[in-house]
Structure 1
Amino acid sequence: MVPLDSLKIGRDEIFKGQQENEEYICFFRHHWIDILRELIYFIIFLTLITILIVKIGEIQGVLRGNREIKLFFFTGFLGITVFMHRFFIKILNYFINVGIITDRRVIDHKRSLFFVDSMDSIDMAQIQNIEKIQNGVLPSILRFGDIKLYLTASDSIKTFHRIPNARFHFREINRKREARQRALRRGLRREQEPPEAQKEQKPEQKEIPEEKIAQPY
């Protein structure tokens, strides 16, 4: 049998910043439509590169003795280099920016490849209301939308934009929010009870008559 202590979830077991006994539910990124424009530009770029490779012989003939066209191609080469770096940085930033849902918190981890690394944590008990926004043709077909969290501690609103499968994540946050708030209310009522009511009543033990006790031979 596995001891109960070994089943407890330790700190930083699944993700960095995880608390003890905090149950990990799921994580999410922005919808892939966020990088659709970059992918289209990349496909166009690959098409142009393919054409240049096929026509390399003709291009070399044009470049001979023509400084203006050489300068133009050199500028284009620099532009291609900048575009490639920008494309791969955006792709990496897309994958490392995540949101995490646990049984206690909703965590927004914003990160970039070089300069940004911030983490915002919202306790489930502080969420007053949840709103899912999925308006338009593309959000309905591709099943993405925005999720707004209205907080009780202040008038602030936390919005997660373009979340894939917004209905699933909305349902998970709502369930964990209700479970977290119920657990806190039970704990608060238990603290407000008098000490006499908190003591567990032991079951009465019935006395066994002496004649019913088996005597040893």
Structure 2
Amino acid sequence: MDEQFETSHQLFHSFCIRPDFSFEIQGKDEEVILVLRQHPIVALNWFFNVILFLILLVIVNLVFAGLLNPQQQFFTNFLTVALILSYFWFNLVTYHFNVGIVTNKRVIDLDFQIFGLREFTIADLGRIEDITTKSAGFFQSLFNYGDVFIQTAGTEANVEYHRVPKPTEVTSIINKLIEK
């Protein structure tokens, strides 16, 4: 057990060190060191879009109230709200289930698509050749989030964590695990 990493959790569990967490393809002697999700600030974009669409729906209902009969208005509103809620649900599921996992043996990128498609990208720590951190732009600098690109040797797929909190700390943790 690596005592150098203290347990901690960030808002919305977007950056968790030593969480009480297990996953489907975890090995018997494999210990989860870090779990990553996109920074919560990224979710504000689609959350505000949902609010904007709902406000626009109310405005459209007020402006065009006399053009449709009540049944047509109900059907149109029902369909519009269903589309808005579907957009919200899709983004919520994508945000929650797209997870980066760093263990004492591997780095794993789990991408979940809304229709049940799961994509695992896995790299053994010993096969990692380069780790690049990219944090560009005003908001990424202000809120301390960015991308972490992990290049591996040979034909293994590279692992990428997009818009995760504290990308330099993620890189530091992975480098410490590689050195062991």
TM range (shorter): 0.7 to 0.9
Aligned length: 160
Structure 1 residue corresponding to 2:44, chosen from 36, 39, 44: 36
In 1, Cα distance between equivalents of 2:138 and 2:127: 33
Aligned runs of 1:35-114 on 2, under 5 Å? 35-47=43-55, 63=66, 67=68, 71=72, 74-114=75-115
* Aligned CA-pair RMSD: 2.9
Query: Displacement, 1:27?
Result: 0.4
Q: Which digits, 9 at most, give the CA deviation of each residue in 1:62-117, with x for residues without a partner? A: 54xx5578646633431221111221121122101101100110011111343311
Residue in 2 aligned with 1:15?
23
Which residue of 1 is the match for residue 138 of structure 2? Answer: 137
| Correspondence for 1:149 | 150
User: TM-score, normalization: structure 2?
Assistant: 0.74
Structure 2 counterparts to residues 172-183 of structure 1, below 5 A: 172-179=173-180
More displaced, 167-176 or 40-49? 40-49
CA–CA distance in 2 between the matches of 1:102 and 1:40?
Answer: 34
> Where does structure 1 lack aligned partners over 5 or more consecutive residues?
1-12, 180-217
Alignment of 1:114-129 (within 5 A): 114-129=115-130
- Aligned-pair CA distance for 1:167: 1.7
Deviation at 1:36, TM superposition (A): 2.1
Alpha-carbon shift at residue 144 of structure 1 (Å): 0.5
The higher relative CO (CA closer than 8 Å, separation ≥ 6) is in: 2
The 1:106/1:114 distance shift into structure 2, 3 A limit, reads same
The residue identity in structure 2 corresponding to 1:30 is Q
Aligned-partner residue type, residue 173 of structure 2: E
Residues 122 and 159 in structure 2, CA contact (< 8 A), matched pair in contact too? no
Q: Secondary structure of 2:28's partner?
A: coil
Question: Would the aligned equivalents of 2:53 and 2:84 in 1 still touch at CA under 8 Å?
Answer: no
Aligned residue identity for 2:88: F
TM-score (norm 1): 0.63
Rg: which structure is higher?
Answer: 1
Q: Percent identity?
A: 28
- The structure that is strand-richer by fraction is 2
Q: 2:121·2:159 contact (CA, 8 Å) conserved in 1?
A: no
Structure 2: where are the runs of 5+ without partners?
1-20
Q: CA deviation at 1:132?
A: 0.8
- SS state of the match for residue 27, structure 1? strand
Q: SS of 2:121's equivalent?
A: strand
Residue 129 of structure 1 aligns with an amino acid whose one-letter code is D
Report the CA distance shift for 1:155/1:74 in structure 2 as closer, same or farther (over 3 A): closer
Residue 139 of structure 1, CA deviation: 0.9
1:183-198 equivalences under 5 Å are none
State the alpha-carbon separation in 1 of the partners of residues 60 and 147 from structure 2.
42
